[in-house]
Amino acid sequence: MLSINTHMQNLPIYLYDNNLDVILDLDPTVRGVNQVMYQHDLKIQKGIKNKVRIQFKNSDQKRVSISTTQTFVFSMFDAFSQRLVLEKQLEVIQTNTSTRGLALLTLTESDTMDLTKSSYQFSVKYQDPDDGTYLPTYANTYYGVAGTVHLAEDINPVLQPSQESVSFNKTYNSATQLYEHKGGNMYAYPEYNSNSALHTMAMYMTGFRGTVYVQGTLYNSPQSFNRYVTISTRTYDGFTGIDYVNFNGVFSYVRIMYVPSTAPAESGNDNPTYYGSFDKALYRC
């Protein structure tokens, strides 16, 4: 008798607060007693919302009271050039004894979207209510002002650059008696796509008259031009700008083919002065 054991995989997911302690010594009589050997580095994710709970303590490692009338500012800067890349005011969320000395740093998606994933330095400064100047807080009890923040990009996949088609091979179709301009093969990554995979073709034109064909193939080596089938067709009459075609499916390669319009009183479609130009195509899947 055959016995089959089935096992279900379990994946634990942890959702917890990102906490950071900083030293705020507003009382000059307090001296460091419980020294912290090091401050853990702050790690945030690029391109999504990050919330960091900042706990203010004195050098005795006791939480200190702060109020909503006080101003604290988080600054993040390049560790080498000292160039400021981000600055945000903290939100004081102290409401009771359990949240004493607690503030919230909120970084939105747009705050980190344009930053390079790397290691930066950060500081938290306190605004003196007497004269409006800023006083430092400390990352540790050795009066280290700056801490280290690592900007990572582990959440979202990184978009791949678009493929570009800027040169077109002109051939004469004896059946239609028209010239056809065919772009090169652009790889469609079939190993990553399913039948519902979205493809986008952006087409750049200047005063273009004619028909544009977005074509695809399942052949792994489509040397022959007749191995392509047409996916989408667009006709233009003097169009200038960028037009987009979105389509779904699995293809080994895609390409652009355009057939210029024939000028009035002419027998062929080989007059660029009339049909304008098809400048390039950008493809992404």
- pLDDT of 28 > 80? The answer is no
Query: What's the pLDDT at 189?
Result: 87
- Which domain does 271 fall in, by range? 163-284
Model confidence, pTM: 0.54
Q: Hey, what are 76's tokens?
A: 């993040």
Structure tokens at 246: 């979105």
- pLDDT category of residue 10 using cuts at 50, 70 and 90: low
CATH number at residue 105: 2.60.40.3350
- Pick the last residue of a domain from 118, 152, 186: 152
> Considering 99, 127, 152, which residue would you say is the last residue of a domain?
152
Question: What average pLDDT does the structure give for the chain?
Answer: 83
Distance between alpha carbon 162 and the CA centroid of its chain, in Å?
A: 14
207's CB contacts (< 8 A; 6+ apart) are 238, 239, 240, 276, 277
Read off the pLDDT of residues 147-167 as tens digits, 9 standing for 90 and up: 888 999 887 766 678 899 999
User: Which pLDDT tens digit goes with each residue over 215-270?
Assistant: 999 888 776 556 899 999 999 999 999 999 999 989 999 999 999 999 998 989 99
Q: Is residue 103 part of a domain?
A: yes
Provide mean pLDDT across the span 97-125.
87
- Name the residue with higher pLDDT: 3 or 73: 73
Asked if residue 10 belongs to a domain, the reply is no
Q: Return the closest-CA partner of residue 281 out of 173, 201, 187.
A: 201
Q: Is the pLDDT of residue 9 over 60?
A: no
Both structure tokens of 193? 């796509």
